[in-house]
A = this chain, B = another copy of it.
Amino acid sequence: MTSTLGYAILAVLARGERTGYEIAAAMRRPVSYFWTARHSQIHAELQKLATGGLVAFDARHGPGPQDKKVYRLTAEGGDALRVWVTEPPRERPERDELVLKTYASWLADPGLVRRLFAEQLRVHEERLAEYEREEELFEGPPDPGDPRFGNYATLRCGLGYERHRAEWCRWMVAQLSASL
């Protein structure tokens, strides 16, 4: 019933109470890179979750025309999250624009394709460096029962991903250099 975005919000609220604005910030890279949404979607989803009784909020005086709402997980919300966590994820279709461009790259000028991948390589190397800096803040993997284990494990995934991606870009650049 609850959408994946709903569980993403519950997962953030499991760490402590937050406003919608703070949830949106928490879901942005590089802090917690797992599921992103615009604030417009988050506010809408929070309303659904509140209706369903999975979250609750206190309205407090805030900036802007409306009160600010500090959301927290309810007992039902916590239960729903815990059940969902260990269910197998549904297969999401892979939609990767760079891979698609690669598939069609034989049509284009190799010099331009090479430049595209050189740029992408730089992006991934920078992101990798950023993640490595963040990893140093941990002193080894936290215990699997510690909330920080979630952060560390997703960071590990990101590190592996960026390494794989950078390596692939390097391979592409090498292939395209050989043919020039």
Contacts and interface: CB of A to CB of B under 8 A. Distances in A.
Interface of A: 4, 7-8, 10-11, 14, 29, 32-36, 78, 81-82, 84-90, 92-110, 112-113, 115-116, 119-120, 141, 143-151, 153-154, 156-157, 160-161, 163-165, 167-168, 171-172, 175-176, 179
A116 B86 contact: yes
How many chain copies does the complex carry? 2
A167 B32 CA distance: 21
A85 B98 contact: no
A36 B112 CA distance: 26
Nearest to A142: B106
Given A35-B100, A85-B113, A164-B164, A150 B105 contact: yes
Nearest to A97: B89
A147 B85 contact: no
B113 A86 contact: yes
Contacts of A102: 34, 150, 153-154, 157
Given A104-B81, A179-B143, A94 B160 contact: no
A74 B62 CA distance: 57
B150 A14 contact: no
